[in-house]
Homo-oligomer: A and B are copies of this chain.
Amino acid sequence: MDAEIISVGTEIVLGQIVNTNAPFLARQLGTLGITADRQLAIPDRQELMVASIRTAWQRSPLVFVCGGLGPTADDVTLAAVAQALGVKLTVDSDHWRWIQGTFAQRHQPMMPENIQQAKCLTGGEPLANSVGLALGSWYEHDGHRLVVLPGPPREFVPMVTGEVMPRLAKIVGQRVQITSRTLNFFGRSESQLMDEIADVTADLSGVMITSYVQPDAIQVRMTVRNQPRAAANHLLDTAQARIVKEEAPYFFGVGDDCRLAAVVVDQLRDRGWRLTAAESLTGGMFQSTICSVPGASNVFDGGFVTYAARAKEELLGIDHQVIAEHGVVSAQTAAQMAERSRQRLGVQVGLGFTGVAGPDSLEGQPAGTVWVGLAISGQPTTTRLLHLGAYRGRQAVRQWSVQAGLQMLYRALQK
């Protein structure tokens, strides 16, 4: 099936923001064998929107209109869609009550225009928004389908995966059988990873393999088309076994939503272990990442941010001598941070992070030089030296340090 995507937003058209929704949707559609051959971005000017939507609606069996569902005066998407299709808008009274309740819970006054966000196309089906106020809309007529989606990516993404994809899968279900599986890796360059994967899967021509770089992982998606489920899964099992064998040190889990922090929290909980950390360059980001996992309290009580040498000595009791002799960016300091934090909290696992986030160098070490220490009760403390690409900036160095620490712990938990 061919599709068209219309992205609405003056800030997109002026180049003030980069449109990431359309490529995300296109990748999702691709897994169902649907190609969006025309992808248009236009400003939120109603007459231009009406003309563009009408053309797409007449021409294509599936049209997406994305953005412009907010409560302000320049959010005219629903009105434009209604005009283009010649249908009216209705207030979804359940959703309107929910919006009112939400404002009450937040002790915020309602604006009269917030009722906009409870509207959807008459004769259509509202699409639930799990993280925002505005409803999406799904409308069908005469073999044509039009889907209205919100603009903010954090609302757009879950509505696509949670509401749109299941409906589309039902529609194309009989036509194209798509079986896919995502493998997650960290710590390898994308080109190297994909080269090596291509080598070990060269003879598996039925498996299409694509990669997608996330801030905290490289996701490798394997897709098999037009095969019965059992045969497809057998093919995916074969490919997965070869890939995981080749890339064992970098692999950490299966699934689109698999996150290394969540895997580590699960494995610690299964062992009945708790962890803590002492963080210098990461400044609390490791512990915050652990706390981003629901149920973190099963494995984490608290820990330390020791940014300055003074805090390392005062809060953790790091030997002044160690810092004076080896520097704060050293294996010795990282190891002591891990050990002392573990001892102070009386838990099984402690991590220490120290390094140069940049932009400036420190103690003669260039930005991107990072030591991670890992202390586990009853085991010798280990350390790892990272040379991260500082040209990507301070935040990336800190994020990769956190992921490298999670990876060290993950590997230790496999033993």
**Which residues of A are at the interface with B, using a C-beta cutoff of 8 A?**
10-20, 22-27, 30, 35-43, 45, 48, 52, 70-74, 102, 105-109, 111, 113-114, 130-132, 152, 154, 189-192, 194-195, 198, 210-213, 221, 279, 281-288, 290-292, 294, 296-297, 300-308, 310-312, 314-315, 344-345, 357-359, 366, 368, 387-396, 398
Contact = CB atoms under 8 A, between A and B. Distances in A.
A180 B327 CA distance: 47
A70 B284 contact: no
A45 B301 CA distance: 51
A30 B198 CA distance: 43
Q: How many copies does the complex hold?
A: 2
A305 B303 contact: yes
Query: Which 10 residue pairs of A and B lie closest in terms of their CB atoms, listed nearest first?
Result: A284-B284, A283-B291, A302-B311, A15-B26, A15-B23, A284-B287, A15-B27, A301-B308, A284-B288, A285-B288
B359 A294 contact: yes
Contact of A308 (B16, B25, B105, B302): B302
8 contacts: A15-B27, A72-B190, A72-B194, A154-B392, A283-B287, A284-B291, A285-B288, A294-B358
A290 to B, nearest CB: 7
A152 B23 CA distance: 17
A270 B107 CA distance: 36
Contacts of A194: 72-73
Contacts of A107: 387
A260 to B, nearest CB: 16
